[in-house]
């Protein structure tokens, strides 16, 4: 096989691999995600979170939710590639266990910020400023 054919095959394979990563891959964790709005669905069994990022570049593609007791910890992941909007989202629906009292967003270095909590009437609300970090 001639050298140019081998180079062409390698280039085509690399393009296919990179395209696959753009469409289906996720990048690193996002630490600059904040809650812009939320909506309670199905009588409190689900929450629709509307999020935004504080930096001027990058998009959110996916999230991972971890339930520990009465707390839910949400980690967001950016899209693969520099400022790639393919398959990006700004709304996520979360299933919420009945005993869940607080929802936190990942902020880096094993640190989470409180973004939602239940009040005395068992309704979801944004926390006051002094309650936000753990």
The Cα 63–Cα 94 span in angstroms is 10
pLDDT of residue 73: 96
pLDDT of residue 24: 58
| Sign of the torsion angle spanned by Cα atoms 64, 55, 109, 18 | positive
Using a 10 angstrom Cβ sphere, with 0-12 exposed, 13-18 middle and 19 or more buried, the burial of residue 116 is buried
Task: Say what the pTM is.
Answer: 0.78
Q: Please name the residue that has the structure tokens 């700004």.
A: 90
Asked if 67 and 74 count as a contact pair (C-beta separation under 8 A), the reply is: no
CB atoms within 10 A of CB 118: 16
The Cα 41–Cα 29 span in angstroms is 27
Mean pLDDT of the chain: 86
Is the pLDDT assigned to residue 133 strictly greater than 60? Answer: no
Mean pLDDT of 109-129: 91
Mean pLDDT of 96-123: 93
pLDDT of residue 6: 84
Most confident of the ranges 2-16, 97-111, 119-133: 97-111
pLDDT of residue 26: 62
- 48: nearest Cα among 89, 93, 90: 93
- Residue-wise pLDDT for 23-76, tens only, equals 555 668 899 999 999 999 988 889 999 999 998 888 898 899 999 999 999 999
Mean pLDDT of 69-92: 86
Helix (H) or strand (E) holding 7, with range, is helix 3-24
Is the pLDDT assigned to residue 134 strictly greater than 70? Answer: no
| Sign of the torsion angle spanned by Cα atoms 12, 82, 28, 76 | negative
């Amino acid at each position: 096989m001639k050298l140019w054919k081998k180079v062409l095959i390698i280039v085509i394979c690399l393009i296919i691999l990179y395209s696959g990563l753009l469409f289906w891959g996720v990048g690193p964790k996002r630490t600059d995600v904040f809650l812009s709005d939320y909506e309670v669905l199905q009588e409190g069994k689900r929450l629709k979170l509307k999020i935004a990022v504080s930096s001027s570049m990058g998009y959110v593609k996916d999230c991972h939710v971890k339930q520990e007791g009465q707390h839910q910890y949400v980690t967001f992941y950016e899209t693969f590639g520099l400022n790639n909007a393919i398959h990006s989202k700004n709304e996520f629906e979360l299933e919420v266990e009945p005993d869940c009292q607080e929802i936190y967003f990942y902020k880096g270095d094993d640190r989470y910020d409180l973004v939602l909590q239940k009040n005395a009437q068992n309704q979801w609300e944004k926390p006051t400023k002094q309650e936000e970090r753990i």
